Chain A
Amino acid sequence: MYASIKQMVKYMRNSKISKIRWSFIIFFIPVFLWLFLLIVLPHLELLRMSFLGKSGFTFKNYSAFFTEPIYWLTFVRTALYSILVTFIVLIIALPISFFITKVVNLRIQGVLSVLLLVPFWVSELIRVYGWMILLRESGVLNHFLVGIGLFKQPTEMLYNDITMIMGLVYTSMLFMIIPIIGVMESLDDALIEAAYDLGAKKMAIWREIIIPYSMPGIMSGSIIVFMLVLGSYLTPKLMGGKNSLWFTEQIYNQIITYFNWNQGAAFGFLLLALSSVIIWVALKLTKQDFRKVVK
């Protein structure tokens, strides 16, 4: 009796192991191929190409970046503007998310959340195009402002830094609001009620309860927004002026216009390094874990 039970347990264990291994192999191979062939190897190739010139190995592509002010100035500008846009987006997104999750009537809450989502699904290009026909010299806004006599003649409102920043805020807004709404929904109203009953001011409630509680949402929203803005091409290209060059445009020019793939690869790698460093610093400063943040 004992021996047969022992044998049965052994059999079960063996069969379980072999089954798990099979499913593991079937799941593992395609996922590994995807990540290895389409993520790891292409980026290693990007790194390799960035060190190649006409006559083999060279640092020329990187030294060009540091010796030509136009390159590194664009790089610094892109980084600073991306951080600025992320902050503006956060400052608008917090009260809007709070309004929708905690202030507004439950009846219209659903309607407002759908309204929020619609522009998020419409492509960036169409949204930017909408701003272009609103703001350009022959645009709708100028038509109205001249019509009511506020402006004497149409003014070009596109092609400057402020409009470009507004456009970037607009196109990335919802990627901040969605994760923040996600965490705010689970914030227990009783916490805010208790603080209120104990006499806390609104600012104190925001500072002590709402913001600390929403931190995971704020971080994941900030990372996504920062990445989207940093890697944005359409919005700076179409809404920014001649002087609002974005670093992605430099990469695009090197690869597509000048066909200088090695220089483009070096720029691409620098952008990748920049984004990784800034995200890493932000995570360290706020003591968040990357894996938890993206979940």
Chain B
Amino acid sequence: MIRTLPNSKSYLSGYKLFALFYFIFLFAPLVITMILAFNNSMFPSLPWKGFTLDWFFGPGPEKTGLFYDKMNLRAIATSIKVAISVSILSTIIGTMAAFLFEQEDFKFKGALYFLMIAPLVIPGVILGISILLFSTTVGLFIENVLGIDVKILRPGFWLIVLGQFSFITTIVTMAISARLRKFDRTLEEAAADLGANRFTVIWLITLQYLKPSIIGGAAIAFLMSFENFNTTTFLISSQPTLPIILYQQVRDGSTPVINAISFILIVTVSIVAVGNFYFKSKEKD
């Protein structure tokens, strides 16, 4: 049954086979995508026509590799800018929210907490359209009453940032709250007894303790923002992010340049995942 009990051979090998199939199921699409990034063919499919790096470095015009593909490069740059903005904003507000819900007491705390976790169960599509509708209404109102055109309320960079921020902050808050909950508050009391005021205590003691979860939260925010499609798709204007442009290429069919992009993303993510695991197991020791 479990590793500390005697298990029959058939039970163990059956279980191992099941797990093997599961992992093949998990990795088959990713591995195939990565391999076909190096196929010397105009289409992301077999037969294998030999190894090439053209889908990364091909200058065109026949095969335009990723590093010469202006449209995709621009989308990657936009996505990175959005992701950095979202992760900075959501980490700051998420940390404040963690302090608010873990260390402060106030009326209607339960209700506000409920509201804070609500974005977890609101489909991204709906968040996207409600923010689009609301910002348009407010934008029109300001334009009609004050005669000012507020750019931030139009679909575009900042609206994408706000839309993603609205639900990513919840996830960051929960990551930081989980660590703050384990924090020994007598340390804060000790510092306060020694004359530090509340903000000095937070800055010197609590935030130092929270650092791993703040960095972790920022990393999660970056990744979630970088990959978001459902909310973002309603908030874009002329400068789409990478998932939007990839989606159009996948839908309409494209050269293996998408495989090259996928290759880079999968490798980066794997390195981060392994690094994170290494970091965590080191911390435990």
B117 within 8 A of A: yes
B247 within 8 A of A: yes
Total interface residues on A, using CB and 8 Å?
96
- Chain B 1-52 residues near chain A, CB threshold 8 A: 1-5, 7, 12, 15, 18-19, 22-23, 25-30, 32-33, 36, 43-47
**Which stretch in A65-73, A126-134, A211-219 binds the other chain?**
A126-134
Query: How distant is B105 from chain A, measured CB to nearest CB, in Å?
Result: 9
Q: In the complex, which residues of chain B have a beta carbon less than 8 angstroms from the beta carbon of A42?
A: 127, 130-131, 133-135
Q: Interface digits, B119-153 against A, CB 8 Å rule (1 contact, 0 not)?
A: 11111111101111111010000000000000000
Q: In the complex, which residues of chain A have a beta carbon less than 8 angstroms from the beta carbon of B114?
A: 290-291
B93 within 8 A of A: yes
Q: In the complex, which residues of chain A have a beta carbon less than 8 angstroms from the beta carbon of B103?
A: 23
Q: In the complex, which residues of chain B have a beta carbon less than 8 angstroms from the beta carbon of A170?
A: 25-26, 29
Q: Is there an interface contact between A189 and B2, defined as CB atoms closer than 8 Å?
A: yes
Total CB contacts across the A-B interface at under 8 A: 261
Q: In the complex, which residues of chain B have a beta carbon less than 8 angstroms from the beta carbon of A46?
A: 126, 129-130, 133-134
Q: Is there an interface contact between B45 and A130, defined as CB atoms closer than 8 Å?
A: no
Give bound CA distance, A38 to B127, whole Å: 9
B112 within 8 A of A: yes
A139 within 8 A of B: yes
Nearest-CB residue, chain A, relative to B227: A123
Question: Majority SS of interface residues in chain A?
Answer: helix
Q: In the complex, which residues of chain A have a beta carbon less than 8 angstroms from the beta carbon of B274?
A: 114
Give bound CA distance, A128 to B162, whole Å: 27
Q: Is there an interface contact between A125 and B243, defined as CB atoms closer than 8 Å?
A: yes
Q: Which 7 A/B pairs are nearest by Cβ-Cβ distance?
A: A130-B29, A231-B123, A123-B227, A42-B130, A42-B134, A38-B166, A27-B100
A159 within 8 A of B: no
Give bound CA distance, A39 to B173, whole Å: 15
Nearest-CB residue, chain A, relative to B135: A42
Q: A41-B134, A255-B234, A261-B133 are in contact. Are A131 and B121 (CB under 8 A)?
A: no
Q: A126-B266, A139-B45, A196-B5 are in contact. Are A248 and B123 (CB under 8 A)?
A: yes
Q: Interface digits, B231-264 against A, CB 8 Å rule (1 contact, 0 not)?
A: 0011000000001001100110000001100100
Q: Is there an interface contact between A123 and B133, defined as CB atoms closer than 8 Å?
A: no
Q: Give 11 A-B pairs besides A35-B112, A129-B262 with Cβ atoms closer than 8 angstroms.
A: A31-B93, A38-B162, A41-B134, A42-B135, A106-B3, A121-B223, A121-B269, A122-B262, A126-B265, A234-B230, A294-B174
Identify A127's interface contact among B29, B93, B100, B202, CB under 8 A.
B29
Q: Is there an interface contact between B123 and A275, defined as CB atoms closer than 8 Å?
A: yes
Q: Is there an interface contact between A125 and B247, defined as CB atoms closer than 8 Å?
A: yes
Q: Is there an interface contact between B277 and A275, defined as CB atoms closer than 8 Å?
A: no
Q: Is there an interface contact between B120 and A224, defined as CB atoms closer than 8 Å?
A: yes
Q: Is there an interface contact between B247 and A45, defined as CB atoms closer than 8 Å?
A: no
Q: In the complex, which residues of chain B have a beta carbon less than 8 angstroms from the beta carbon of A290?
A: 114, 117
A60 within 8 A of B: no
A51 within 8 A of B: no
A192 within 8 A of B: yes
Identify A103's interface contact among B3, B44, B93, B178, CB under 8 A.
B3
Nearest-CB residue, chain A, relative to B92: A30
Give bound CA distance, A5 to B281, whole Å: 51
B183 within 8 A of A: no
Nearest-CB residue, chain A, relative to B31: A130
Give bound CA distance, A20 to B104, whole Å: 8
Query: How distant is B77 from chain A, measured CB to nearest CB, in Å?
Result: 17
Query: How distant is B109 from chain A, measured CB to nearest CB, in Å?
Result: 10
Listed by A's residue number, 10 A-B pairs whose Cβ atoms lie within 8 Å are A23-B198, A27-B104, A34-B97, A119-B26, A121-B269, A130-B29, A132-B250, A231-B230, A237-B251, A295-B178
Q: In the complex, which residues of chain B have a beta carbon less than 8 angstroms from the beta carbon of A185?
A: none
- Chain A 189-213 residues near chain B, CB threshold 8 A: 189, 192-193, 196, 202, 205
Q: Is there an interface contact between B269 and A294, defined as CB atoms closer than 8 Å?
A: no
Q: In the complex, which residues of chain A have a beta carbon less than 8 angstroms from the beta carbon of B18?
A: 95-96, 99
Query: How distant is A286 from chain B, measured CB to nearest CB, in Å?
Result: 16
Give bound CA distance, A192 to B2, whole Å: 8
Q: Is there an interface contact between A234 and B126, defined as CB atoms closer than 8 Å?
A: no
Give bound CA distance, A131 to B262, whole Å: 13
B116 within 8 A of A: yes
A176 within 8 A of B: no
Q: Is there an interface contact between B121 and A223, defined as CB atoms closer than 8 Å?
A: yes
Give bound CA distance, A294 to B99, whole Å: 18
